[in-house]
C-alpha cells in the first residue's frame, strides 16, 4: 500500500525536469529562459536513526517570467513505511538575478514562502538545528505542527573554465514566532566534456555533469554556529538526453551525530520551450 501511494505521488508529478544545475540543495544564478516551463519531480529517502524509512517527493513547476526572474511552485508529500502517505504542503519560490551580464561572481536573490506541516521530509534545505530527530515520528503526530515560513538566500555563483561554483547563505523565519535560522550550501560541478559534438547524442561525455555539495545548519540568531547542527556531503551526477530530459542522483552522507547517516536523492525533469506561446495558441 505504501508503494502504491508513492507511485500515485510520482504519477501526479511525472511530466517532469532539462539541462539545468546538477545540484539538489545549492542554487546558482542560472534562470529559466523567459516563457519556458520546467516540470520536475524529485524524491528523497532515508532511514534516520534506525526509525521507519521515509520517502519524500516534491513536484515542481518552474517558469521563466523574465530573463532576471524565475518563479516556481512546489507541492510536497511524504510516505513513511508502516505508517501512511500524506500531502505536506506547498512552497512558492522566486529567484532574481541581480546583474544582467556574466561576472567573476554573479549574485542572485532567492525568496520563498513555505506553508507546510511538521511531517514534511522533502529536505530541500537544512537550517538552524534541523537534525535526525526531526525526521522521526508518525505522520499523524507530526502533521499537527504548522509551518508558515519565509526563506531567503544570497546566491553567489561563478563559472570558471567549465566549472560551476556556487555558495548559498540561507536565512529562514517562521512568520509567527521562532528565531531566525541560518544555513549554508556550497556546490562545485563540471561537465565531463566541454566541447559538444555536432550531432544528436545521448551518452556523450558532455551530456553528463558531476559534482559535489556540502550543506548544513548554522544555528539561530541567538545561538549561531555549528553547535547541535547537522551537516552533509553529497556527490551528484546529472545526465541530460538529446530530447531535453534530465535525470539526477545524489547519495548524501551525514558528517556528525546530528545528521541522518545516509540520504539518497533522485530527480527527473523536462523543459517545455516557449510554453507561453503554446498556451496563447490554445
Q: What is the mean pLDDT of residues 150-172?
A: 96
Q: What does the pLDDT read at residue 20?
A: 58
> What is the chain's mean pLDDT, rounded?
90
Q: What is the pLDDT of residues 51-89, one digit of tens each?
A: 889 999 999 999 999 999 999 999 999 999 999 999 999
Tell me: pLDDT of 158 over 80.
Answer: yes
Say what the pLDDT of residue 147 is: 93
Name 119's bridge partners: none
Indicate whether 1 pLDDT > 70: no
> Chain-centre distance of CA 14, in angstroms?
16
Mean pLDDT of 136-159: 95
User: What's the pLDDT at 275?
Assistant: 83
Instruction: Count the domains in the chain.
Output: 1
Residues in Cβ contact with 197 at an 8 Å cutoff, skipping those fewer than 6 apart:
204, 206
Q: What is the 3-state secondary structure (H, E, C) of 153-175?
A: EEEEEEEECCEEEEEEEEEEEEC
The pLDDT tens digits of the residues spanning 243-268 come to: 889 999 999 999 999 999 999 999 99
Query: Which band of pLDDT confidence, cut at 50, 70 and 90, is reported for residue 17?
Result: very low
Q: Which pLDDT band holds residue 8 (cuts at 50, 70, 90)?
A: very low
What CATH number is given to the structural domain containing 60? 2.40.160.40
42: buried, middle or exposed (CB in 10 Å: 19+, 13-18, 0-12)? buried
Average pLDDT rounded to a whole number, residues 146-168: 96
C-beta of residue 216 within 8 angstroms of C-beta of residue 183 = yes
* Range in 154-168, 186-200, 226-240 with the lowest mean pLDDT: 186-200
Note the pLDDT of residue 10.
Answer: 42
Range of the domain at 221: 2-281
Widest distance between CA atoms in the chain = 57
Amino acid at each position: 500500500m505504501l508503494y502504491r501511494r508513492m507511485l500515485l505521488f510520482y504519477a501526479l508529478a511525472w511530466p517532469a525536469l532539462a539541462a539545468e544545475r546538477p545540484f539538489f540543495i545549492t542554487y546558482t544564478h542560472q534562470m529559466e529562459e523567459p516563457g519556458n516551463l520546467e516540470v520536475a519531480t524529485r524524491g528523497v529517502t532515508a532511514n534516520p536513526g534506525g526509525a521507519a524509512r521515509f520517502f519524500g517527493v516534491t513536484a515542481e513547476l518552474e517558469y521563466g517570467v523574465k530573463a532576471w526572474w524565475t518563479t516556481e511552485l512546489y507541492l510536497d508529500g511524504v510516505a513513511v513505511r508502516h505508517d501512511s502517505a500524506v500531502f505536506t504542503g506547498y512552497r512558492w519560490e522566486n529567484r532574481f538575478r541581480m546583474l544582467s551580464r556574466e561576472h567573476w561572481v554573479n549574485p542572485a536573490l532567492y525568496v520563498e514562502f513555505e506553508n507546510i506541516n511538521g511531517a514534511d521530509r522533502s529536505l530541500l534545505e537544512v537550517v538552524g538545528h534541523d537534525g535526525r530527530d526531526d525526521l522521526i515520528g508518525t505522520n499523524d503526530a507530526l502533521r499537527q505542527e504548522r509551518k508558515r515560513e519565509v526563506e531567503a538566500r544570497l546566491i553567489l555563483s561563478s563559472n570558471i573554465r567549465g566549472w560551476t561554483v556556487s555558495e548559498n547563505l540561507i536565512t529562514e523565519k517562521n512568520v509567527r514566532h521562532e528565531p531566525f535560522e541560518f544555513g549554508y550550501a556550497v556546490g562545485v560541478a563540471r561537465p565531463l566534456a566541454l566541447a559538444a559534438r555536432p550531432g544528436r547524442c545521448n551518452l556523450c561525455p558532455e551530456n553528463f555533469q558531476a559534482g559535489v555539495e556540502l550543506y548544513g545548519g548554522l544555528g539561530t540568531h541567538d545561538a549561531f554556529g555549528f553547535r547541535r547542527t547537522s551537516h552533509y556531503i553529497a556527490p551528484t551526477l546529472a545526465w541530460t538526453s538529446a530530447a531535453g530530459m534530465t535525470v539526477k542522483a545524489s547519495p548524501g552522507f551525514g558528517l556528525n551525530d546530528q545528521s541522518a547517516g545516509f540520504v539518497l536523492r533522485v530527480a527527473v525533469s523536462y523543459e517545455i520551450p516557449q510554453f507561453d506561446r503554446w498556451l496563447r495558441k490554445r
